[in-house]
Amino acid sequence: MPIALIPEGLAGLRADLGVARLFGVSRSQVEQACLVGDLQMNGAVIDKATKLQAGAMIELALTEPRAVEVRPALVGDLRIVFSDADLIVVDKPAGVAAHPSLGWEGPSVVEHLAAAGFAPCPAGPPERPGVVSRLDVGTSGLMVLARSVLAYDALKQAFTDHRVTKIYQALVQGYPVPPAGTIDAPIGHVRTGEWKMMIDQRRGRSAVTHYQTLERLAASSLLRINLETGRTHQIRVHMAAVGHPLIGDTLYGADPTRANLLKINRQWLHAVELSFDHPRSGDVMHFHSAPAGDLASALAQLRD
């Protein structure tokens, strides 16, 4: 287990960046350690965004990394919405991961772009070049990737500074009260080996979700959701925590019979809008995507 004191030159840096430099490991290795509570500063577990303190004792437990292979393959219904020398915006279908990873054998956005002839971005880990934010495998909609180092650094910082607008639509069980509001509750990893998140007041990372009811339907509500932060499974965890899990999201307590009736085999969640400043020109970029076909069919059935 690497142990060291934080030197003055690394003070103030994010933990994932500073610890990677200190121990000569990859940022992705540090991020993975954070997910399972294996990075500590002065004896306290920290996350990847924690600022390092000069003179503090840092402890990192690492497992031997296994290589993740990128195997180019086209995804038939993945649509490229916009592309230039700096970035690519895609409309991702459900059933597609953002990038290849251990344990995932299905298609990914990164592998589709490789097969489509896009050169990998020179920034980011080899298995996820240019990936600055992700959508769950079961979530469809808009996602941006960097093609240049300039765009990668600028978009990463924009997401960190909450200067990227991410709007989702979600179909949830029941009727939230109040019909519009904010959920502010930290999210952490369930430490059972299962890839699942939870509200964690002690060790979780800050997470803020704003929601607004767009439509009341049969025993369900269509919501507009604006994320202030971008934690893993944030919308799913927050809505389940207030008693309104997403239709189809059985991992977080949704009633499977409702999903079966609506012919939904994943969570009803779609990234409908994405806005940010172009990293080179500064122009405001705004994109919109209508809910995917299976989600639209479920809505139509509820409206009949």
Mean pLDDT, the chain, integer = 91
Residue 84 carries which side chain, given as an amino acid letter? D
Q: What is the pLDDT of residues 198-246, one digit of tens each?
A: 999 987 889 999 999 999 999 999 999 999 998 889 999 999 999 999 9
Domain ranges of the chain: 3-60, 71-159, 167-271+295-303
> How much is the pLDDT for 20?
85
Q: What is the mean pLDDT of residues 61-78?
A: 76
* 274 pLDDT more than 80: yes
Q: Say if pTM beats, i.e. exceeds, 0.85.
A: no
> How much is the pLDDT for 64?
56
* 103 pLDDT more than 80: no
Q: Which of 264, 259, 268, 186 is nearest to 228 (CA)?
A: 186
Q: For residue 192, what pLDDT band results from cuts at 50, 70 and 90?
A: low
pLDDT greater at residue 145 or residue 191: 145
Instruction: Please state, in angstroms and rounded to a whole number, the distance separating the CA atoms of residues 5 and 24.
Output: 14
Does domain 71-159 fall under CATH 3.30.2350.10? My reply is yes
Assigned CATH topology for domain 3-60? 3.10.290
> How much is the pLDDT for 65?
52
Using only C-alpha atoms, the chain has a radius of gyration, in whole angstroms, of 20
Q: Which of 91, 149, 154 is nearest to 120 (CA)?
A: 149
* 130 pLDDT more than 90: yes
Centroid of chain to Cα 57: 30
Q: What is the mean pLDDT of residues 62-86?
A: 82
Return the minimum-mean-pLDDT range out of 61-75, 82-96, 117-131, 137-151. 61-75
Work out the percent of the chain whose per-residue pLDDT is above 90: 65
Q: Examine domains 3-60 and 167-271+295-303 and report if their fold is the same.
A: no
* 37 pLDDT more than 90: no
Q: What is the pLDDT of residues 133-189, one digit of tens each?
A: 999 999 999 999 999 999 999 999 999 899 999 999 999 999 999 999 999 999 988
Active site residues: 136
> 12-16, 33-37, 297-301: which has the highest mean pLDDT?
297-301
Per-residue H/E/C for 206-267: CCEEEEEEEEEECCEEEEEEEECCCCCCHHHHHHHHCCCCECCCHHHCCCHHHHHHHCCCCC
Residue where the block lists tokens 């939904």 = 264
> How much is the pLDDT for 233?
95
> How much is the pLDDT for 44?
86
Q: What is the mean pLDDT of residues 97-124?
A: 88
Superfamily (CATH H level) for 167-271+295-303: Pseudouridine synthase (3.30.2350.10)
Q: For residue 1, what pLDDT band results from cuts at 50, 70 and 90?
A: low
Instruction: Please state, in angstroms and rounded to a whole number, the distance separating the CA atoms of residues 157 and 301.
Output: 41
pLDDT greater at residue 180 or residue 304: 180
Q: For residue 191, what pLDDT band results from cuts at 50, 70 and 90?
A: low
